[in-house]
Amino acid sequence: MGFTGDTAASFKSIPTRQSFTQAITLGLIVTSALIIWKALMCITGSESPVVVVLSESMEPAFQRGDILFLSMSEEPIRAGEIVVFKVKGRPIPIVHRVIKVHERQDGGEECVVTKGDNNREDDRVLYPPGQLWLRRNDIMGRAAGFLPYVGWVTIIMTEKPVIKYILIGALGFLVITSKGEENESILQVNFPSQF
């Protein structure tokens, strides 16, 4: 019959109830992932509790492809801390070290200047025009831990979207075509023959 015919036959043989169960299962998986992400946001105080290092600017402290776990508290930011910040006009957050801290006299708000460990200059050229310091609301979180190289999966899928679509398609295909194991082991009671 061929691959196409076998696939079409596989779709036709899936009962409605099983299709509904698979759709509900897929929905629960997606919902669970969102709940876990939101819970991490609440626990860590960071709008993005996990980020991937995308460049070599923080070597040797962090390599490209490392995953950072972030937290954000009300404690003052200190020079030497590694922070993740987002500036207007740049969609991707930046992971760099705080090199200067300044407390503003007008409101007591702390401001910082950052720099990548592997960069020669500070990050003021990355900030919006006219902005010389990062404010606390620009900072998404502080590095609290990391996993080396695990983020390469994200980098590869971002740089080569075809791979991402192939993986998503393959997973979707497996979910749709997998046949749930029917519970055929119904409890059977063997009565003695004298009854």
pLDDT, tens digit, 9 for 90 and up, residues 33-83: 999 999 999 999 998 899 999 999 999 999 999 999 999 988 989 999 999
Least confidently predicted of 61-75, 98-112, 132-146: 98-112
Mean pLDDT of all residues in the chain? 84
Catalytic (active site) residue 102: no
Average pLDDT estimate for 172-180: 71
pLDDT at 20: 81
- Model pLDDT for residues 15-32, shown as the tens digit of each residue: 777 778 878 888 898 899
pLDDT at 110: 87
pLDDT at 66: 96
Q: With bands split at pLDDT 50, 70 and 90, how would you rate the model's confidence at 174?
A: confident
pLDDT at 95: 96
DSSP string, the chain: --HHHHHHHHHHTS-HHHHHHHHHHHHHHHHHHHHHHHHHHHHH--SSSEEE--SSTTTTTS-TT-EEEEE--SSPP-TT-EEEE--TT--S-EEEEEEEEEE-TTT--EEEEEE-TT-SS-GGGTSPTT--SEEGGGEEEEEEEEESSTTHHHHHHHH-HHHHHHHHHHHHHHHHHPPPPP----------TT-
Q: Which one from 19, 46, 117, 123 is the annotated catalytic residue?
A: 123
Average pLDDT estimate for 105-119: 87
Average pLDDT estimate for 183-193: 45
Kindly report whether the global pTM for this prediction surpasses the value 0.85. Answer: no
Q: With bands split at pLDDT 50, 70 and 90, how would you rate the model's confidence at 105?
A: confident
Q: Which one from 46, 66, 96, 138 is the annotated catalytic residue?
A: 96
Catalytic (active site) residue 123: yes
The CATH number of 73-143 is: 2.30.30
Average pLDDT estimate for 173-182: 66
Listed by start position, the domains of the chain span 11-44, 73-143
Catalytic (active site) residue 96: yes
Q: Is the pLDDT of residue 182 over 70?
A: no
Q: Is the pLDDT of residue 193 over 60?
A: no
Q: Which one from 46, 57, 66, 138 is the annotated catalytic residue?
A: 57
pLDDT at 26: 82
pLDDT at 90: 87
